[in-house]
Structure 1
């Protein structure tokens, strides 16, 4: 089975390959094609992968190419993890937004809109090529903003594109662990959009254990989200929000923390990864060791400003292992082998949430089999959550409309309608600022 990884020179590709190395069953991935626009980055990542397989017999064969069509032909699965504009683009997203006093995070608020506006045209081109060159392939999307990009691609690939994210997986794992339950045996009632969802229940052997957690302040305050949001607020919500909702519930504090930080997250990662890829140019570098060291620092500093604002302290060691690569592998296994499983995924709504239309991509538990991912029926969200979901989905639709039409006015509308952008005038300044620094937004007229 052939897996093509778009963004194959990306720093986290060894996580995906490491997960593939654990799969020894019949029907596994036997060929991996790395595609990237940067041949130097491809070479660096290929070196890490070579060291990963040093003691693994019959590992999947790895090739690399800068030719997209070549990479797509004959693929059974396509994993998309591209970053249009690179980390320099992410740093610019943050800088422009913070200059106007609004959030610049890569998937939330102004930064997420800017990232979406320059990513959607590229993602749509990829989707059209997949439809032409690999019509039977399944595309697994991890490109951010994941829900928005998945919806853009679904207009050309239908249900054969499925978005994944590690945030709901990590959240469910933490809740199960603090309740003394096995995450593999727990049903997680999670509903929302990508980076905008809530756990409303966690059932073990048919019993919802979440009320027990919410009623115990010591237990509730003992894990990441309890520290991040505070016990009182979680008890008021009656649910556990995705960590990214910290940007909404504590927006003023988050913006201030980012403005006061020595470096934004994007700038930090740009410097860190530039150092890693420069190190990888030296033939004597121990590639896997250098990658492991860089990854550990990257994970430990994740959402550092938010945790500092909340007084949440350092991340727990168990939360430093990521998880999206395990979701991707489980998804591929379920489809390729008809190994039925349940995963939280980004898929078309198909009537699951009554407040949204059938084509809106949402993030919910899905039953996965050889025919793809099927969203599970869920109870309606409370009004406060429904309002936020509908508002953000409305913004995503304006981003898609702007990307399709090239309308600058529609881009302004997308920014202005976002709950974390507080002025139409600010929206206009954001569009001006982003078009000045991003050549990829030159299509907006």
Structure 2
């Protein structure tokens, strides 16, 4: 089995390598190709990747290259984890929206739109090259904003599934609080990428008993602290929102915080400098503890599970993924990309039935889905007016004055990445 990681020079990659090494019985990778245009980073990450494989007794071959076409040739699955513009672009995404009093964040709001505009054309070009190399290859997308990127891939007819680590992170968190194995926890996880709620926590499988009321009663303070949301809000919702909902439920509070502290991008950039120094140490043969602070916890387990299921291996048949709605949520278009539990196999992901969704959540999902449709249109066809329309539709912007200013700022900060600008 050959797997290719596009963006293989990312500091995230050793997390993924560690998962491939530990879970080789689930996903028997014989050749793993890391492809990245940044040769210096790729050399460091590739060296550590080989040492991790060796330490854990994995005899698979690890190849590093900057040649995308050679990297995807014959690949059974291609994992996308790229960042167009690097951390410098992320720094901009997180700062210029604050000039208008709007959240600065790399996956939602105006910053998330900027990332989508930079990313979608690049991802679609990569996907076409994958299709030419092997039309049966699966594309697994980690690249944010996952919902919009996955929708672009599916609309273009690619064999693609999107993946995020929010659900698996909450599964692990809840399992620890409840004192059970993670595999025993099944989430009624519903929404869009980075806009999700856990409406039930079931033990034993999709039909198991819902222990969410018990979880909130016994551990609500700990869950609320992790989300940085008030405990009474969780009690009133009777659900656990993802931490990204804080941008909506506490928007002005978050803006105030972001204006008075270093950006997450700045923190990550410094962390990456430290990690790359560590990766260059020839004695290092395991992922360093610092990597856990980088983000992406458990994403290696989720990636292995998804790739194994898609490729006919031992992956779990039930996984939370990003895939086409296809009537699952009747208030959204069929081609909307939703994040829900699904059955996963060689034919792809099929969403499991979802209980009626509270209007409190359904309304916001519908609003953000409309924004994502407009954002994808702007990413595919370009134009200042399309950018404005997407921003005006976003619930974190919503006012025409802000949308006008943010459109100007977005174009000014991203001109080198926008072919039409």
TM-score with structure 2 length normalisation?
0.93
1:400-436 deviation line (CA, Å, top 9, x unaligned): 1111211210111111211111422222222222222
CA distance in structure 2 between the aligned counterparts of 1:347 and 1:165, rounded to whole angstroms: 12
For 1:292, the equivalent position in structure 2 comes to 288
CA distance in structure 2 between the aligned counterparts of 1:372 and 1:422, rounded to whole angstroms: 36
Indicate yes or no: 2:275 matched with 1:273. no
For 1:107, the equivalent position in structure 2 comes to 107
Counterparts in 2 of 1:411 and 1:255: CA distance versus 1, 3 Å = same
Indicate yes or no: 2:419 matched with 1:443. yes
CA distance in structure 2 between the aligned counterparts of 1:270 and 1:236, rounded to whole angstroms: 38
SS in structure 2 at match of 1:63: strand
Aligned-pair CA distance for 1:224: 5.3
Alignment of 1:270-419 (within 5 A): 270-277=269-276, 286-288=283-285, 292-299=288-295, 322-339=297-314, 340-419=316-395
1:102-151 deviation line (CA, Å, top 9, x unaligned): 11111121111111111111111112222222211111100001111111
Counterparts in 2 of 1:175 and 1:278: CA distance versus 1, 3 Å = closer
1:169-210 deviation line (CA, Å, top 9, x unaligned): 111222233233332122211100011011111122421111
For 1:91, the equivalent position in structure 2 comes to 91
Gaps of 5+ in 1: 300-320
Counterparts in 2 of 1:392 and 1:48: CA distance versus 1, 3 Å = same
Aligned-pair CA distance for 1:26: 8.1
CA distance in structure 2 between the aligned counterparts of 1:43 and 1:409, rounded to whole angstroms: 42
For 1:310, the equivalent position in structure 2 comes to none
User: Which range moved further: 79-88 or 400-409?
Assistant: 400-409
Which structure is richer in relative contact order (CA contacts within 8 A, separation 6 or more)? 2
SS in structure 2 at match of 1:400: helix
Gaps of 5+ in 2: none
Number of paired residues? Answer: 417
For 1:187, the equivalent position in structure 2 comes to 186
CA distance in structure 2 between the aligned counterparts of 1:293 and 1:335, rounded to whole angstroms: 30
Contact 2:11 2:276 in 1 (8 A): no
Alignment of 1:70-149 (within 5 A): 70-149=70-149
CA distance in structure 1 between the aligned counterparts of 2:184 and 2:275, rounded to whole angstroms: 39
CA distance in structure 1 between the aligned counterparts of 2:16 and 2:119, rounded to whole angstroms: 22
1:207-266 deviation line (CA, Å, top 9, x unaligned): 11112233x2x52112355662222101111111111111111111111101100x1001
